């Protein structure tokens, strides 16, 4: 609850900040301060501290998973601020507004990870989406950015409509919005209204997490949006949508019907396959990362099959591993002048530290042991294998993971094994370098001791 | 404590070397590898009590994976091989110059740490970690310091092994849940999985090791990679890394899935034998020394695979001993290749000839190594191959033991043909414009080769210590593999 309240308030504070403060550094510091406070308040809630008692009538429910997940999302955002806040200034003049919008998104993240009523799910997802439409189009004079924004808005609105329809059907079938109460209302046996409602919900959530075949907006939007905001969208926002997706399935005690399960299996398979295969053919690293985020979403979908501890812990770990590594890769990418693979040629010779940390991030995304990405994939596979179904899907997933090595390693090859004709002079501050080192260390640390992240889940 | 030291010494050296200069890295890595060798020998002699050879520490408590390493019979043989090989490699290539040399040596040390870990791990997840840790440095070594086509070739190698590893990961996770959420090797051994499950798990598991060994038809990465890698790395790849495959099958596949191994034994053996004959024939056609030795390696490893699935005591011990011997012999061959290449700048058989007149010492040493490669009596190769053939012939796990022995035996003759042909082409005949300028080997190469020749003779004349080390473990594994009575 702390997080929802405070991030909304601080969003407003940031808007005023834009009106009264002119210096970019001050705005940035205010945003970082707010975020640190947000993290502290959120962790404090784990220990029972609340800003105020709000009776949500059971529409929101906070458990340790929610709070740990929020912490992961907020810490990722903090890392993102440290690395990329300066690059936001280059997008446009409304720096404070960008930060305000990001705080509103975080408020949505906190709602959608703790919803207990479908109405709250809808609210959370919308609060996440609307600021994003604006951020996507924030590079106002760039046609690509405008196009991406419009496309995202149109597609997003459709999916919102579908979600509302789904919620309405479920309400018709059960007479309640509450996930918990659904358990008691439901009678055994199939209810067509319920199945249809659930299916529509699955479709709209698939859209939000860019799972195939509802992924078509992703590459264009990610490519068109200013790169700093793509980084935010592809990481924190995506994993938040996944947390909501997972809660949709685990919040109820209703056995998910087999028909829905097989549909999710097919969605997972399609996402893995399309994401990975298409990424292979990209020439621009930015677009490659867009498809890679689709491919990673395919792996995260595995959390939706197994309703066991591995799925929950796995999603947490995956969120942390994927967000940290992707933010890192994007932070390096923003510094590049040329977003093609050739643009990375010989980076290791003139920026060894950037190349080395970037390699660790890419290895993590590819799922190589000793990095957090491996343990994340391990948990996902373990959760699926434990639930005992769909061996074909698991084998497909590991083959796709092997394909993903191809495009991630292309960047590594460019950085280390190819010479650059004209070394690009990059302006990189020492603070930025330290930021990268810290993230890389965190990625390796989580790869060796993942249990550290879950310690707070059970106590 | 010994196993931890074996991993930590190279690991720490490797990480430290990233921060030093090239000259210091060269001595540093040599000193560190000799230190590892001393520790490894100490583990065989002074500190051979069991309490020194084990370490068990907690690691990923939430999923029940432990940092468990232990030096058992096969581990001792292979750790000794790893420990001996690295000083030999560093000594014999001491004069090679590498751009950014410190990184080269650092990555070499990291791969040594990974290899040690693979041979020591008694926890499946830990094993998997080390399995990859050994691979990643080698990927960078080959791609940065390799030959002209290094990038695509090494990448192919990486993808092949990575696919294999991932399939293995599925099996490990599957077995983990079957074993009640435990990764320890004992709990894996205690599993009694239904026959049908073992049958399909076998291939997923075996794939990882088949790629590494390599077994026909998974071998296509190997000649290219050996050819394109810098020779020091090729030594690691062919001397030690392929043993990871053989080792993995013995330690993890056949004892855990004995029924699967029994059911598919004939198929695997047939593939291995096809590979042996095919590789031997191809070896004969090669013009590049590195490719020739690469194909010869496929043939020798194939025999080890055949011997594992024969399920006999003699065969199993033969494999364990031959893993060591083959490592030593093939590193000897690579040292010669490296010496020739550094001196003359070519590896083509057609451009060489008459080297014996210019470099008599090299010729003598090479001939001994080559004879060991064709496993002549009195050399170490003979002991291992004799035991393996004996094992295959007396095998009761298959009906085709005689056929397998005869066809596999052909490759010994073929191996003699191409090895002697190579010696003839390179060392005898007339000198040409290129080779007339050659000089004899330098001291460092001589030292390395003499050590290898001594090891070859020692292993050939007095194999008893090796047999003693591997005795107990091979009995234990054969006990688990003995499933014929179930059918």
Place of tokens 């009776």: A55
| Average pLDDT of span A356-378 | 92
Indicate whether A11 pLDDT > 80.
yes
Provide, rounded to the nearest whole percent, the portion of chain B with pLDDT above 70: 100
Burial (CB count <10 Å: 0-12, 13-18, 19+), residue B187: middle
What is the average pLDDT across A388-397?
85
- Is residue B395 within 8 Å of B311, Cβ to Cβ? yes
Please report which residue ranges of A258-369 form alpha helices under DSSP H: 258-280, 285-300, 309-335, 347-350, 352-366
Q: What are A424's two structure tokens?
A: 């690009």
Q: Identify whether B149 is part of a domain.
A: yes
Q: What pLDDT does residue A326 have?
A: 93
C-alpha A75/C-alpha A104 separation (Å) is 16
Res A86: pLDDT? 83
Q: Name the nearest CA neighbour of B146 among B205, B191, B184, B98.
A: B98
User: B396: pLDDT confidence band, cut at 50, 70 and 90?
Assistant: confident
Distance CA A69, CA A236 (A): 11
Residue B125: count of CB within 10 angstroms of its CB: 24
Q: Of A363, A395, A417, which is closest to B170 when you measure between CB atoms?
A: A395
Q: Which residues of B touch A405 (CB under 8 A)?
A: 158-159, 162
User: Do residue A417 and residue B144 have CB atoms under 8 angstroms apart?
Assistant: yes
pLDDT for residue B187 is more than 70: yes
Candidates B113, B155, B163, B166, partner chain A, best to mutate (most A CBs within 10 A): B166
- Position B128 pLDDT exceeds 90: yes
Residue A87, pLDDT > 90, answer no
Greater confidence (B268 vs B436) lies with B268
Structure confidence by residue, pLDDT tens digits, B357-380: 888 888 888 889 999 988 888 888
Q: Rounded to an integer, what distance in angstroms lies between the CA atom of residue B88 and that of residue A106?
A: 58
Q: Is the pLDDT at A187 greater than 70, yes or no?
A: no
Q: Which two tokens stand for residue B286?
A: 């090669």
Q: How far is A369 from chain B (nearest CA, A)?
A: 6
pLDDT of the residue at A425: 61
Find the range with the poorest average confidence among A413-427, A435-449, B21-35, B324-338: A413-427
Classified as helix, coil or strand, A340 is: strand
B146 versus A257: which is more confidently predicted?
A: B146
Q: State the first-to-last Cα distance of chain B, in angstroms, to the nearest integer.
A: 44
Scanning the structure block, which residue is given the tokens 């994401």? A275
Q: Measured between alpha carbons, how far is B222 from B228 in angstroms, rounded to an integer? A: 10
In a domain, B487, yes or no: no
Residue B115 belongs to a domain: yes
On the question of pLDDT at A398 being above 70, the answer is yes
Nearest to B163 among A368, A402, A418 (CB): A402
Does the pLDDT at position A185 exceed 60? Answer: no
Question: Least CB-CB distance to B173: which of A381, A449, A454?
Answer: A381
Decide if pLDDT at B242 tops 60: yes
Query: Is B62–A399 a contact, with Cβ atoms under 8 angstroms apart?
Result: no
Closest CB to B166: pick one of A370, A398, A418: A398
- Please compute the mean of the pLDDT values over residues B306-319 and round it to a whole number: 90
* Contact yes or no for A398 and B174 at CB 8 A: no
Cβ neighbors of B380 (< 8 A, separation 6 or more) are B321, B324, B325, B328, B329, B372, B455, B456, B457, B458, B459, B460, B463
Q: What is the DSSP string of B325-364?
A: HHHHHHHHHHHHHHHHHHHHS--BGGG---HHHH-HHHHH
For the stretch B378-393, what's the b/e string if a residue is b when 16 or more beta carbons lie within 10 angstroms of its beta carbon? ebbbbbbbbbbbbbbb
B161: closest CA of chain A, how far (Å): 10
Encode pLDDT of B132-177 as tens digits.
888 899 999 998 888 888 888 888 899 899 999 999 999 999 999 9
% chain A with pLDDT above 90: 44
- A451: which chain B residues are within 8 Å (Cβ-Cβ)? 60-63
From chain A, pick out residues whose CB is under 8 angstroms from the CB of B167: 395, 398
Q: Give the minimum alpha-carbon distance from A301 to chain B in angstroms, rounded to a whole number.
A: 17
What letters, b where the CB count within 10 A reaches 16 and e where it falls short, cover B286-318?
bebbbbbbbbbbbbbbbbbbbbbbbbbbbbbbb
Based on the number of CB atoms within 10 Å of its own CB, is B413 exposed (0-12), middle (13-18) or buried (19 or more)?
exposed
Mutate to test the interface with B, among A309, A311, A380, A402 (most CBs of B within 10 A): A402
* Predicted complex ipTM: 0.90
Minimum distance, in Å, between the CA of residue B89 and any CA atom of chain A: 24
CB B53 within 8 A of CB B3: yes
Cα–Cα dist B116/B348, whole Å:
34
Average pLDDT, integer, range B88-100:
85
Q: What pLDDT is recorded for position A424? A: 67
Per residue in B16-43, pLDDT tens?
988 887 778 888 889 999 999 999 988 8
pLDDT for the residue A458: 65
Which are the contacts of B206, defined by CB distance < 8 A and separation ≥ 6?
B249, B253, B264, B268
CA–CA distance, A359 with A371 (Å, rounded to integer): 11
CA angle B92, B96, B97 (to 5 degrees): 155
- Lowest average pLDDT, out of A165-179, A251-265, B131-145, B307-321, goes to A251-265
**A chain contacts of residue B159, beta-carbon cutoff 8 Å:** 402, 405-406
Contact B62 A313 (CB under 8 A): yes
- Of residues A339 and A77, more confidence is placed in A77
Q: Is residue B331 a contact partner of residue B85, using CB atoms and an 8 Å limit?
A: yes
| Phi, psi (degrees; rounded to nearest 5) at B160 | -55, -55
A417 and B170 within 8 Å at the Cβ level: the answer is no
Average pLDDT over residues A113-141: 91
Cβ neighbourhood burial of A458 (10 Å; 0-12, 13-18, 19+): exposed
The pLDDT of residue A277 is above 90: yes
Q: Is the pLDDT of residue B278 over 60?
A: yes
In a domain, B34, yes or no: yes
Band of pLDDT at residue A172, cut at 50, 70 and 90:
confident
Interface contact B133-A385, CB threshold 8 A: no
Nearest CA in chain B to A419: B144
All residues of chain B having their beta carbon less than 8 Å from the beta carbon of residue A399 are 163, 166
- Among A369, A409, A450, select the one facing B155 at the smallest CB separation: A409
Report, as an integer, the average pLDDT of B65-86: 89
Q: What is the 3-state composition of chain B as percent helix, strand, coil, each rounded to the nearest 5? A: 80, 5, 20
Contact: A405, B150; criterion CB under 8 Å: no
Lowest mean pLDDT among A97-111, B62-76, B320-334: B62-76
* Domain containing residue B425: 2-480
Count Cβ atoms within 10 A of the Cβ of residue A186 and give its class: 0-12 exposed, 13-18 middle, 19 or more buried. middle
User: Are A386 and B177 inside 8 Å of each other by CB?
Assistant: yes
Cβ-nearest to B143 among A313, A417, A454:
A417
Contact residues on chain A for B203, CB-CB shorter than 8 A = none
User: Is A386 within 8 Å of B158 when comparing Cβ atoms?
Assistant: no
Please give the distance of CA B240 from its chain centroid, rounded to a whole number: 3
**pLDDT band at residue A102 using 50, 70 and 90 as cut-offs:** very high
Please tell me which of the candidates B133, B144, B176 has its beta carbon nearest to residue A369. Answer: B133
Of B169, B79, B162, which Cα lies nearest the Cα of B121? B79
- Give me the residue from B60, B62, B132 closest to A368, CB to CB: B132
Tokens describing residue A241: 């949508």
User: Which residue in A has a C-alpha nearest to residue B64's C-alpha?
Assistant: A451
pLDDT of A455 above 90: no
- Reference B83, options B327, B337, B298, B385; nearest CA is B327
Question: How many alpha carbons lie under 13 Å from residue A128 in its C-beta half-sphere?
Answer: 29
A chain contacts of residue B61, beta-carbon cutoff 8 Å: 451
Of A35-39, A223-227, B106-110, B358-362, minimum mean pLDDT range: B358-362
Is the distance from CB of B106 to CB of B25 less than 8 angstroms? Answer: yes
CA distance B140 to chain A (A): 9
- Inter-chain CB proximity A416 and B162 less than 8 Å: no
Q: What does the pLDDT read at residue B92?
A: 87
Tell whether B86 is covered by a domain: yes
pLDDT at B443 over 60: yes
Distance separating alpha carbons of residues A137 and A139, to the nearest angstrom: 6
Sole residue written with tokens 């070499």: B108
- DSSP 3-state of A26: helix
Q: Give the C-alpha separation, B21 to B63, whole Å.
A: 41
Q: What is the pLDDT of residues B405-423, one digit of tens each?
A: 888 888 888 999 999 988 8
A322 pLDDT band, cuts 50/70/90, is very high
Note the pLDDT of residue A140: 85
Mean pLDDT score, A127-149: 91
Which of B99, B144, B162, B163 is the best residue to mutate to test the A interface, defined by the most A CB atoms within 10 Å of its own CB?
B162
- Please give the sequence-ordered ranges of beta strands (E in DSSP) within B367-445, or none if there are none: none
pLDDT above 70: residue A349? yes
Interface test with A, best of B121, B169, B201 (most A CBs within 10 A): B169
Place of tokens 């009761």: B396
Q: Minimal Cα distance from A383: which residue of B?
A: B173
What is the average per-residue pLDDT within A384-395? Answer: 84
**Assigned token pair, B242:** 């392929």
Minimum CA–CA partner of A396 in chain B: B167
Q: Looking at the domain assignment, is residue B485 inside a domain?
A: no
Which three-class secondary structure string do you get for A39-98? HHHHHHHHCCCCCCCCCCCCCECCCHHHHHHHHHHHHHHHHHHHHHHHHHCCCCCCHHHH
**Contact (CB<8Å) B129/A406:** no
Q: How far is A417 from chain B (nearest CA, A)?
A: 6
Percent of chain B with pLDDT over 90: 26
Confidence category of residue B353, pLDDT binned at 50, 70, 90: confident
Q: For residue B452, give both structure tokens.
A: 């290898």
CB < 8 Å to B155, chain A: 406, 409, 413
**Considering only CB atoms, which residues of chain A are within 8 Å of chain B?**
313, 363, 368-370, 378, 381-382, 385-386, 394-395, 398-399, 401-402, 405-406, 409, 413, 416-418, 449-451, 454
Facing A398 at nearest CB: one of B133, B140, B170 = B170
CB atoms within 10 A of CB B484: 11
pTM of the model: 0.92
Interchain CB distance below 8 Å, A451 and B63:
yes
- The number of domains in chain B is 1
- Long-range CB contacts (< 8 A, 24+ apart) of A388-396? A389/A261, A389/A265, A389/A305, A390/A265, A390/A305, A393/A265, A393/A268, A393/A269, A394/B170, A395/B167, A395/B170, A395/B204, A396/A269, A396/A272, A396/A273
Average pLDDT taken over every residue of chain A: 88
What is the reported pLDDT for B191? 86
- pLDDT of residue B487 exceeding 80, the answer is no
Q: What are phi and psi of A180, to 5 degrees?
A: -70, -40
Q: Which candidate in A272, A365, A377, A398 is best for mutational testing of the B interface (most B CBs within 10 A)?
A: A398
Give the nearest chain A residue to B204 (CA atoms).
A395
Q: Residue A328's pLDDT is what?
A: 93
Structure-token pair, residue A246? 């997972």
**Through-space distance between the first and last CA atoms of chain A, rounded to whole angstroms:** 20
Q: To 5 degrees, how large is the angle CA B212–CA B218–CA B219?
A: 75
**SS3 breakdown of chain A: % helix, strand, coil, rounded to 5?**
75, 0, 20
Q: List all residues 6 or more positions away from A57 whose beta carbon is below 8 Å from its beta carbon.
A: none
* Among chain A residues, CA nearest to B163: A402
Rounded Cα distance between A329 and B205, Å, is: 33
- H or E element that contains B60: strand B54-60
Residue B181 placed within a domain? yes
What's the token pair of residue A444? 């390796």
Mean pLDDT, all residues of chain B: 88
Q: Which residue in B191, B164, B162, B186 sits closest to B175, CA to CA?
A: B191
Q: What is the CA radius of gyration of chain B?
A: 21
Is B170 within 8 Å of A401 when comparing Cβ atoms? Answer: no
Total Cβ atoms within 10 A of residue B2: 23
Least Cα distance to A213 among A153, A135, A129, A273 occurs for A273
- Report whether pLDDT(B274) > 60: yes
- Model confidence at A186, pLDDT cuts 50, 70, 90, reads low
Query: Residue B486 falls within a domain, yes or no?
Result: no
């Amino acid at each position: 609850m702390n997080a929802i309240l405070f991030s909304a308030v601080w969003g407003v504070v940031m808007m005023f900040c834009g009106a009264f403060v002119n210096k970019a550094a001050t705005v940035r510091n205010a945003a970082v301060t707010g975020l640190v406070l947000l993290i502290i308040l959120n962790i404090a809630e784990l220990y029972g501290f609340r800003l105020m008692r709000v009776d949500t009538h059971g529409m929101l429910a906070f458990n340790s998973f929610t709070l740990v997940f929020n912490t992961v999302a907020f810490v990722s955002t903090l890392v993102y601020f440290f690395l990329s806040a300066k690059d936001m200034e280059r997008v446009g003049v409304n720096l404070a507004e960008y930060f305000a919008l990001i705080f509103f998104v975080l408020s949505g993240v906190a709602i959608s990870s703790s919803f207990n009523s479908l109405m709250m799910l809808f609210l959370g997802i919308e609060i996440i989406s609307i600021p994003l439409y604006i951020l996507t189009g924030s590079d106002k004079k760039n046609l690509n950015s405008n196009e991406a924004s419009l496309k995202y808005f149109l597609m997003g609105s459709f999916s919102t409509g579908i979600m509302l329809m789904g919620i309405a059907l479920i309400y018709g079938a059960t007479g309640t919005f509450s996930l918990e109460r659904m358990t008691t209302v439901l009678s055994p046996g199939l209810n067509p209204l319920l199945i249809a409602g659930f299916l529509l919900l699955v479709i709209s959530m698939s859209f939000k997490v860019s799972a195939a075949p509802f992924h078509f907006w992703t590459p264009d939007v990610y490519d068109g949006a200013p790169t700093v905001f793509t980084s935010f969208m592809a990481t924190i926002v995506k994993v938040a949508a996944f947390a909501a997706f997972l809660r949709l399935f685990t919040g109820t005690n209703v056995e998910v019907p087999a028909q829905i399960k097989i549909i999710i299996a097919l969605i997972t398979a399609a996402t893995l396959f399309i994401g990975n295969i298409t990424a292979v053919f990209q020439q621009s690293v930015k677009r490659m990362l867009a498809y890679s985020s689709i491919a990673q979403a395919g792996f995260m979908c595995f959390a939706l099959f197994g309703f066991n501890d591995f799925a929950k812990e796995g999603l947490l770990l995956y969120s942390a591993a994927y967000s940290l590594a992707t933010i890192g890769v994007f932070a390096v990418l923003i510094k590049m002048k040329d977003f093609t693979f050739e643009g990375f040629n010989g980076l290791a010779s003139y920026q060894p530290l950037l190349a080395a940390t970037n390699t660790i991030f890419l290895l993590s995304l590819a799922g190589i042991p000793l990095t957090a990405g491996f343990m994340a994939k391990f948990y996902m596979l373990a959760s699926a294998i434990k639930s005992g179904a769909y061996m074909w899907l698991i084998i497909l997933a590991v083959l796709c993971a092997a394909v993903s090595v191809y495009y991630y390693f292309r960047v590594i090859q460019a950085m280390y094994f190819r010479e650059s004709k004209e070394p690009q002079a990059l302006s990189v501050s020492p603070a930025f370098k330290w930021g990268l080192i810290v993230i890389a260390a965190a990625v390796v640390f989580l790869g060796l001791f993942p249990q550290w992240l879950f310690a707070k889940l059970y106590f | 404590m010994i196993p931890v030291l074996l991993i930590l010494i190279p690991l720490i050296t490797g990480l430290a070397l990233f921060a030093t200069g090239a000259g210091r890295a060269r001595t540093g890595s040599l000193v560190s590898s000799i230190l590892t060798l001393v520790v490894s020998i100490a583990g065989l002699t002074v500190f051979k009590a069991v309490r020194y050879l084990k370490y068990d520490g907690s690691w990923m408590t939430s999923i029940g994976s432990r940092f468990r390493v232990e030096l058992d019979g096969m581990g001792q043989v292979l750790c000794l091989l790893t420990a001996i090989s690295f000083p030999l490699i560093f000594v014999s290539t001491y004069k090679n110059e590498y751009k950014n040399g410190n990184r080269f040596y650092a990555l070499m040390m990291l791969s040594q740490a990974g290899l040690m870990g693979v041979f020591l791990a008694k926890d499946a997840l830990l094993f998997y970690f080390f399995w990859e840790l050994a691979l990643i440095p080698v990927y960078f070594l080959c791609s940065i310091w390799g030959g002209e086509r290094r990038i695509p070739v090494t990448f192919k190698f990486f993808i092949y092994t990575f696919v294999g590893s991932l399939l293995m990961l599925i099996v490990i996770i599957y077995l983990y849940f079957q074993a009640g959420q435990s990764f320890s090797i004992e709990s894996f051994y205690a599993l009694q999985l239904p026959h049908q499950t073992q049958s399909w798990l076998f291939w997923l598991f075996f794939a990882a090791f088949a790629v590494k060994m390599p077994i026909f038809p998974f071998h296509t990465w190997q000649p290219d990679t050996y050819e394109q890698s810098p020779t020091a790395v090729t030594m690691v790849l062919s001397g030690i890394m392929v043993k990871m495959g053989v080792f993995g099958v013995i330690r993890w596949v056949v004892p855990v899935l004995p029924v699967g191994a029994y059911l598919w034994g004939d198929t695997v053996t047939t593939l291995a034998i096809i590979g042996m004959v095919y590789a031997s024939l191809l070896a004969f056609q090669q013009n590049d020394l590195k490719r020739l030795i690469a194909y010869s390696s496929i043939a020798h490893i194939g025999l080890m695979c055949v011997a594992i699935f024969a399920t006999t005591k003699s065969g199993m011990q033969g494999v364990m001993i031959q893993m060591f011997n083959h490592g030593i012999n093939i590193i000897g061959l690579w040292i010669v290749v490296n010496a020739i290449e550094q001196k003359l700048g070519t590896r083509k058989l057609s451009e060489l000839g008459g080297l014996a007149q210019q470099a008599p010492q090299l010729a003598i040493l090479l001939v001994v190594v080559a004879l060991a490669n064709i496993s002549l009596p009195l050399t170490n190769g003979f002991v291992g191959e004799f035991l393996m053939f004996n094992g295959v012939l007396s095998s009761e796990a298959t009906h085709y033991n005689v056929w397998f022995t005869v066809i596999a035996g052909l490759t010994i003759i073929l191996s003699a043909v191409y090895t002697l042909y190579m010696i003839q082409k390179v060392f005898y005949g007339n000198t040409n414009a290129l080779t007339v300028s050659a000089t004899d080997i330098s001291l460092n190469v001589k030292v390395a080769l003499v050590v290898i020749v001594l090891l070859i003779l020692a292993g050939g004349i007095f194999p008893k210590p090796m047999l003693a080390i591997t005795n107990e473990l091979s009995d234990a594994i054969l006990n688990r593999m003995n499933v014929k009575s179930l059918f």
